[in-house]
Amino acid sequence: MIGKYTIREIERIPELLEKADNFNFSFTKSKKYVFVGCGSSYNLGFITSKILNTHGYCSSTISGGEAIVFNKVPSADISIFISRTGESTETVKAVQIFKKNNIKTIGITCTPNSSLTKICDESFIFDFANEESVVMTGSFIFILNFLLNGIQHNNLSEKSFNVLNNSKTLIDSLNLKDFNHFIFLGFDEQYGISKEGALKIQEMAIQNVEFHEPLEYRHGPKSTLTDSTLVIINSKDTREEKILAEELKLLGAKVIFIGKNGDINIDYDSGFESPLKMIFPQYLGYKKAIIENLNPDKPKNLSKSVILD
């Protein structure tokens, strides 16, 4: 069965989120934080950093690649390195650069005894969230919830069960063969959710994807919109986003509104609902891959870690 690992890893999300209560981690407003990662792990840091800044903390994000190519170290007291496997070359190499600058290093991974955990000052290892599939799904949502609990604790397990079921019902009702262009729109941390959502469709289903701020989509990108376009709006429950949704429908696109009273009903909660909003694109990527007879467990040209000589 193609995609058997991916669907299993998506369907266990409520179970993973139930485990978040077992871990203690907190941010402090007296410290500066920087998140370092690549791909989905970078997006994890981006989303968390946006929410931290919204709530009065000081945080930034840098990719592992930018850090090692330019020997770049943002001003920070604590650096947090995210890598599901703990082996991504750029992220691991970046740790040494930060340590040379006397910045505390914390590793977050799902793999015990990884290169990352061996060199960081402190590590969180979520081996129960590790995945067989190449694409990061449930582990992304768990780690995001874990990090956001460092600001304000939220047990999202029960809500995630409902969101997962509603997402499956909606996506299963679509004729996904009709769509070959996927647009994700969102402001602030929702932009990060949109970026990661687009990546899931690109990785698993090898589709044409875009991600933009909602109102910026009007300024040029909407020229490529057709009746084969599926638009996903990750809403902060603003009037402007709802107006945009109606406008794009009139132009012929299929629009999925993820927000209060939306197609997937998730109230905006200052960003703390963000893990829930990742469920829809993960299942969408999986289902589109299956429809296209692609194996989301092992996408073309991808591996679980990018390891460079």
- Smallest CA-to-CA distance from 187 within 241, 151, 143, 147 is with 241
Q: Residues of the chain with pLDDT > 70: what percent?
A: 97
Residue 302's pLDDT is 59
Pair 109, 85: CB distance under 8 Å = yes
Pair 281, 183: CB distance under 8 Å = no
Q: Please, where are the H alpha helices in the chain?
A: 4-11, 13-18, 40-54, 64-69, 89-100, 115-119, 138-148, 157-173, 189-205, 239-250, 274-277, 279-291
pLDDT category of residue 164 using cuts at 50, 70 and 90: very high
Rounded distance between C-alpha atoms, residue 146 and residue 259, angstroms: 22
**What number is the average pLDDT over the span 242-257?**
96
307: pLDDT strictly greater than 60? no
**What number is the average pLDDT over the span 56-77?**
96
- Smallest CA-to-CA distance from 63 within 88, 102, 35, 99 is with 35
CATH of 157-291, one of 3.30.360.10, 3.40.50.10490, 3.30.470.30, 3.40.190.10: 3.40.50.10490
Which residue in the block uniquely carries the two structure tokens 């402190």? 122
Rounded distance between C-alpha atoms, residue 309 and residue 294, angstroms: 30
**What number is the average pLDDT over the span 22-26?**
92
306: pLDDT strictly greater than 80? no
| pLDDT tens per residue across span 178-216 | 999 999 999 999 999 999 999 999 999 999 999 999 999
290: pLDDT strictly greater than 70? yes
Residue 162's pLDDT is 98
Can 4-148 and 157-291 be said to share one CATH topology? yes
Residue 300's pLDDT is 74
Q: Residue 177 gets which letter from DSSP?
A: G
106: pLDDT strictly greater than 70? yes
> What mean pLDDT, rounded, does the chain reach?
95
CATH fourth-level superfamily of 4-148: Glucose-6-phosphate isomerase like protein; domain 1 (3.40.50.10490)
Residue 243's pLDDT is 96
Residue 2's pLDDT is 87
135: pLDDT strictly greater than 70? yes
236: pLDDT strictly greater than 70? yes
Domain borders along the chain are 4-148, 157-291
- Smallest CA-to-CA distance from 152 within 285, 53, 7, 55 is with 55
Tokens, residue 89:
């070359």
Contacts of 28 (CB under 8 A, 6+ apart): 57
Residue 299's pLDDT is 80
Phi, psi of 229 (to 5 degrees): -95, 130
**What is the distance of C-alpha 157 from the center of its chain?**
17
Rounded distance between C-alpha atoms, residue 130 and residue 29, angstroms: 31
Residue 12's pLDDT is 98
For the chain, helix (H) and strand (E) counts, in that order, are 12, 10
301: pLDDT strictly greater than 70? no
